[in-house]
Amino acid sequence: MNFRRILKAIFQSQLGPIFALAFILMLFAVADQRWSSGNYLSPRNFRVMMNSAALIAVPALGMTMIIIAAGIDLSAGTALTLCGTVLATQFKYAAVAAGEPGFAWVVIQAVCLTLLTGCLCGLVNGGLISLTKVVPFIVTLGTMTIFLGVGQIISKESTVYADEKNIPEWLSDFCYTGSNSERYLNFGIFPNVPNSVLLTLILAFAVVLLLRYTVFGRNVFAIGSSESTARLCGVNVPFTIIAVYTLAGVFVALGGLMYYANVKNGNPSDGMGKELEIIAAVVLGGGSLSGGRGSILGTLMGALIITAIRSGCAQLSILNTYTHIIIGGIIIVAVIVDQLRHGSPEWFFRLLPAKTVEN
Amino acid sequence: MRGQPILEVNRICKAFGPTKALRGVDLKVRAGEVLALIGENGAGKSTLLKILSGAHRADSGQMTIGDRPFRPAGPSDTRQSGVAMIYQELNLAPELSVEDNLLLGDRGHGGGLLIRKRQRPKVREALETVGLGGLSPTAIVGEQSIATQQMIEIARALVAEARIILLDEPTSSLPQKDVARLFSIINDLKERQIGMVYISHFLEEVREVADRYTVLRDGENVGEGKMEDADDDTIVSLMVGRDVKNLFPTVPHIPGEPWVRVQELTGFPYPKKVNIELRRGEIFGIAGLVGAGRTELIRTVFGLDHSSAGSVSVNGKPIPSTIRERIKAGFGFISEDRKNEGLAQDLSIIDNLTLSRLGDYTTMGVLNLKRRKQAAEKLLKRVQVKCKASDQAVSELSGGNQQKVAIARILHQQADILLMDEPTKGIDVGTKAEVYQMLGELAATGKTIVFVSSYLPELLAVCDRIGVMSRGELRDVRDTVDWTEEEVMRVAIV
């Protein structure tokens, strides 16, 4: 086989992010075996990684849709912790404790309010973007701090802790990664897969179908590729944009719910910087910030790549500071590779050896 | 000295992967003459220009300027060697001043410092040469008309002391009267012993300005000679490689009863109180200068631009002025800006084709992709789009094929009133003929076509009636037999 052809095939296939993830896992697994405890690919650590990836991936599903529609949402991080804080206050000030009659109603109310908060955040973003025509970057830069402020009002500028008794069992177990099989909602099919991961997979599948098999999905791609063409074809552009941001808001709220299940408290300022992680997952997965391009499978891989690197560095006792540098470097490299794939990779492939020895 | 070759291109080859864009092309440009480079889209003209401007590098072959070998590695090399490009789309920085644009790419004096005052005489002289003596060097380029911007581009070539100027479809965005101005400037440049390569789809224009011609087909030279020795038919048959008997094929069709009525339609700033009655099975041409409000008129009819007064009704029923309602009523629109508005370039052919009518393929909100693909491919065959696969991105197609996709879309949309803004802009002679044929066939099936064009010969050949616009008003509507080119121009410039 020809070295050039193989490289080209890998670069140009849609499976790029999967290869990248496999490569990174392999690299850390080997390094871990050689220099550290060898726990990197243990079931326990694998579950931890999957769970952290799920925390990024769920809001990133919404972000993928936004980015495909040539938008961006910088407020996703603070909106996420705002939702988590709303959930936390609901449990903190609940009138009835778990197990008592009427608690189910408290839970339903809390979850609905959380989802509604996310929806509202998305609606504000989408509404402002399509009515004022201000670019998404600026609008969501503004709402980013607004949502932070609103969260701090709700939390009275501190971290909201709810009594453990007041948290429903399914929620405490949502991000559980331990070895007690009974705490997993595995339906008897998936052995010890964190519930957060199950939810992520279901949601991802739903978004794939939404983007590929509905008129709404095709319209999202069309708007991202050329908004004026979409308008000319009779696509209701303002409605579609508002719907995309609102739907992304729902994913952010679900992310907030998972965040709460993971840390068991609500701190609005935790969200600062989370949006960049979410955007990075989309970009690593092949999403183009100029719109029209992005893939759900890629985004999932992107989220896994980020957590695989973070966990690997932790296993190898690499300092946090270096982890940041490595992840930053990977993002830039990923985008360059992606450009090679879609732009004109000819000059690059000319640099490779023209012919290799065949056997 | 006139007749002295200043640019010579010998046996240039260039391949992109498996496609050979150029297979040994020769070109010779002499000082003080205009060489017309003619060929269909895809013949290799733009590849050759890109090699000359340093954007691409040739696989083999030589180029010489004067006696020195010319191997440009990039635009700044080209500029150093005295070659300037004027592209179809203007390449100016609209926010910058005229002089900053003219000096863009200049190496400056004293270690990169730009001392505008010292350069000003050069700037003024260049502006005067192109007839812009009255334009302040500090004026902002974006605020000037398209024609002025075109002249500024030429002035930039002069500031760079270019000896060879390559003009790629320089008139495509110019109104008629400015074309004449451009030609007189080209004649001045000839006097200054500048050699020019002129690319255009308009044969009569080429005839007016060029001394010699070179015809390319499929990346090879197929003919050259003096302009006055060749008639149009000879050149066209060289271009397409077969005899083209009829540049404007028509299909007999008989216009029926009026059914679409545009009444007192007014927008800001244009159109102004326009009234039209369109018949079934009719091709209605709209002529006028660029900026006369033709585009604004059909955009307002389609609901893309807001109307401040007036109505559009179909079969006596007024249609609300939103795009969705107009599409529902049977209107379809082809934009003159194919690249940015007409088609979503990154999306596949299928996506572009079906975007305006996806509802046909859904059951309970779920798209049936297979059925959609079949329907799209049937249409692609009908309009004869040359493509590798229907899920190929539109950006990979040639201009003519892209235009066919745009036309296929309004057919797919099952539009009955086709509003077409410059549908033959930037496509080659052969494809143009196919488009005319298609328009005739559509009219014969009872569809109404509104055909906006700056190219009078095609309007006169294809349309049943022609209306002429000027300053936002529809000045005069007559049957085509009652118009001549001169008559149209007389009404248009009022």
Q: Which of A218, A225, A232 sits opposite B304 (nearest CB)?
A: A232
Q: Exposure of B75 by Cβ count < 10 A (0-12 exposed, 13-18 middle, 19+ buried)? A: middle
φ, ψ for residue A187 (rounded to 5)?
A: 55, 15
Round to whole Å and give the CA distance between A21 and A309.
Answer: 9
- Verify whether the Cβ–Cβ distance A222 to B347 is below 8 Å: yes
Evaluate whether residue A107 is within a structural domain: yes
Evaluate whether residue A29 is within a structural domain: yes
Tell me whether B362 touches chain A (CB under 8 Å).
yes
Evaluate whether residue B402 is within a structural domain: no
Contact B85, B53 (CB under 8 A): yes
Considering only CB atoms, which chain A residues are within 8 Å of B345? 225-226
Evaluate whether residue B375 is within a structural domain: no
Residues B225 and B262 in one domain: no
- Verify whether the Cβ–Cβ distance B351 to A221 is below 8 Å: yes
Residues B155 and B296 in one domain: no
Round to whole Å and give the CA distance between A190 and B492.
Answer: 75
Range of the domain at A122: 17-340
Evaluate whether residue B357 is within a structural domain: no
Residues B107 and B77 in one domain: yes
Amino acid B468: pLDDT? 94
B268 pLDDT band, cuts 50/70/90, is confident
Round to whole Å and give the CA distance between A1 and B264.
Answer: 70
Contact B310, B291 (CB under 8 A): no
Considering only CB atoms, which chain A residues are within 8 Å of B347? 221-222, 225-226, 292
Evaluate whether residue B423 is within a structural domain: yes
Among residues B207, B139, B156, B152, which one has the least CA distance to residue B182? B152
CATH of the domain at B50: 3.40.50.300
Evaluate whether residue A66 is within a structural domain: yes
**Section B431-450 average pLDDT:** 92
Shortest alpha-carbon distance between residue A291 and chain B (Å): 9
Shortest alpha-carbon distance between residue B394 and chain A (Å): 11
Amino acid B66: pLDDT? 84
**Section B291-312 average pLDDT:** 92
Contact A227, A233 (CB under 8 A): no
A14 pLDDT band, cuts 50/70/90, is low
Considering only CB atoms, which chain B residues are within 8 Å of A221? 344, 347, 351
Contact A106, A96 (CB under 8 A): yes
Evaluate whether residue B149 is within a structural domain: yes
Within A133-186, residue ranges assigned H as helices are 136-154, 169-172
What's the start-to-end Cα distance of chain A, in Å? 8
Considering only CB atoms, which chain B residues are within 8 Å of A226? 340-341, 343-347
Residues B228 and B296 in one domain: no
Tell me what the pLDDT averaged over chain B comes to: 87
pLDDT in tens, A101-125: 888 888 899 999 999 999 999 999 9
Q: Which two tokens stand for residue A260?
A: 């709460």
Q: Which residue has the higher pLDDT, A301 or B87?
A: A301
Considering only CB atoms, which chain B residues are within 8 Å of A293? 346
Strand partners, B283: B449
Evaluate whether residue B89 is within a structural domain: yes
Residues B289 and B234 in one domain: no
Residues B119 and B192 in one domain: yes
Round to whole Å and give the CA distance between A326 and B241.
Answer: 58
Minimum Cα–Cα distance from A290: chain B residue: B346
Residues B142 and B234 in one domain: yes
Strand partners, B16: B19
What does the longest C-alpha to C-alpha distance in chain B come to?
Answer: 75
Shortest alpha-carbon distance between residue A292 and chain B (Å): 7
Q: How many A/B residue pairs have CB atoms within 8 Å?
A: 75
Shortest alpha-carbon distance between residue B381 and chain A (Å): 22
Contact A176, A197 (CB under 8 A): no
Amino acid B132: pLDDT? 87
Evaluate whether residue B221 is within a structural domain: yes
A7 pLDDT band, cuts 50/70/90, is low
| DSSP-derived pairing of the beta strands B448-452 and B417-421 | parallel
Amino acid B110: pLDDT? 58
Those residues of chain A whose CB sits closer than 8 Å to some CB in chain B are 212-215, 217-219, 221-222, 225-226, 228-236, 292-293, 346
Considering only CB atoms, which chain B residues are within 8 Å of A346? 16-17
Amino acid B245: pLDDT? 61
Considering only CB atoms, which chain B residues are within 8 Å of A292? 344, 346-347
- Verify whether the Cβ–Cβ distance B347 to A212 is below 8 Å: no
Range of the domain at B145: 5-240
**Section B424-448 average pLDDT:** 88
Residues B68 and B199 in one domain: yes
Strand partners, B417: B331, B448
Tell me whether B348 touches chain A (CB under 8 Å).
no
pLDDT in tens, A290-344: 888 889 999 999 999 999 999 999 888 888 888 889 888 988 887 787 777 665 4
Residues B21 and B157 in one domain: yes
Shortest alpha-carbon distance between residue A231 and chain B (Å): 8
Evaluate whether residue A157 is within a structural domain: yes
Residues B228 and B287 in one domain: no
In chain A, % of residues over pLDDT 70: 89
Mutate to test the interface with B, among A225, A228, A232 (most CBs of B within 10 A): A232
Amino acid B432: pLDDT? 87
- Verify whether the Cβ–Cβ distance B355 to A292 is below 8 Å: no
Considering only CB atoms, which chain A residues are within 8 Å of B17? 346
Evaluate whether residue A6 is within a structural domain: no
Residues contacting A279, CB < 8 A, separation 6+: A63, A67, A72, A76
Mutate to test the interface with A, among B325, B351, B367 (most CBs of A within 10 A): B367
Considering only CB atoms, which chain A residues are within 8 Å of B59? none
Minimum Cα–Cα distance from A229: chain B residue: B341
Amino acid B1: pLDDT? 45
Per-residue pLDDT for B19 more than 80?
no
Q: Calculate the alpha carbon distances from B298 to A347, B226, B270 in Å.
A: 44, 42, 11
Evaluate whether residue B377 is within a structural domain: no
B87 pLDDT band, cuts 50/70/90, is confident
A354 pLDDT band, cuts 50/70/90, is very low
- Verify whether the Cβ–Cβ distance B341 to A228 is below 8 Å: yes
Q: Which residue has the higher pLDDT, B409 or B455?
A: B409
pLDDT in tens, B208-236: 899 999 998 888 899 899 988 888 778 87
Number of domains in chain B: 2
Q: What share of chain A is helix, strand, coil (3-state, %, to 5)?
A: 70, 0, 25
**Section B106-120 average pLDDT:** 70
Evaluate whether residue A11 is within a structural domain: no
φ, ψ for residue B201 (rounded to 5)?
A: -90, -15
Minimum Cα–Cα distance from B360: chain A residue: A215
Q: Calculate the alpha carbon distances from A303 to A297, B338, B363, B493 in Å.
A: 10, 37, 34, 62
Domain end among B212, B240, B268: B240
Mutate to test the interface with A, among B358, B394, B407, B418 (most CBs of A within 10 A): B358
Considering only CB atoms, which chain A residues are within 8 Å of B358? 215, 218-219
Tell me whether B146 touches chain A (CB under 8 Å).
no
- Verify whether the Cβ–Cβ distance B366 to A229 is below 8 Å: no
CATH of the domain at A148: 1.10.3470
Round to whole Å and give the CA distance between B269 and B201.
Answer: 32
In our burial notation (b when 16+ CB lie closer than 10 A, e otherwise), range A144-166 reads: bebbbebbbebbeeeebebeeeb
Cis ω before B271 (30° cut-off from 0): yes
A200 pLDDT band, cuts 50/70/90, is very high
- Verify whether the Cβ–Cβ distance B341 to A226 is below 8 Å: yes
Considering only CB atoms, which chain B residues are within 8 Å of A230? 344, 355
Shortest alpha-carbon distance between residue B358 and chain A (Å): 6
Considering only CB atoms, which chain A residues are within 8 Å of B356? 232-234
For residues B288, B402, B398 and B387, what is the CA-based torsion angle, rounded to 10 degrees?
-160
Amino acid at A121: C
B426 pLDDT band, cuts 50/70/90, is confident
Domain end among B240, B275, B291: B240
Minimum Cα–Cα distance from A217: chain B residue: B367
Number of domains in chain A: 1
Round to whole Å and give the CA distance between B420 and B401.
Answer: 16
Per-residue pLDDT for A359 more than 60?
no
Round to whole Å and give the CA distance between B60 and B20.
Answer: 12
| DSSP-derived pairing of the beta strands B448-452 and B283-288 | parallel
Residues B93 and B217 in one domain: yes
**Section B264-268 average pLDDT:** 91
Alpha carbons within 13 angstroms on the beta-carbon side of residue A85 total 25
Residues B229 and B266 in one domain: no
Considering only CB atoms, which chain A residues are within 8 Å of B342? 229, 232
Per-residue pLDDT for A76 more than 90?
yes
Domain end among B175, B207, B240: B240
- Residue B204: its H or E element: helix B203-209
B12 pLDDT band, cuts 50/70/90, is very high
Place of tokens 């604004």: B296
Mutate to test the interface with B, among A12, A233, A239 (most CBs of B within 10 A): A233
Tell me whether B405 touches chain A (CB under 8 Å).
no
Tell me whether B409 touches chain A (CB under 8 Å).
yes
- Verify whether the Cβ–Cβ distance B369 to A213 is below 8 Å: yes
Amino acid A260: pLDDT? 93
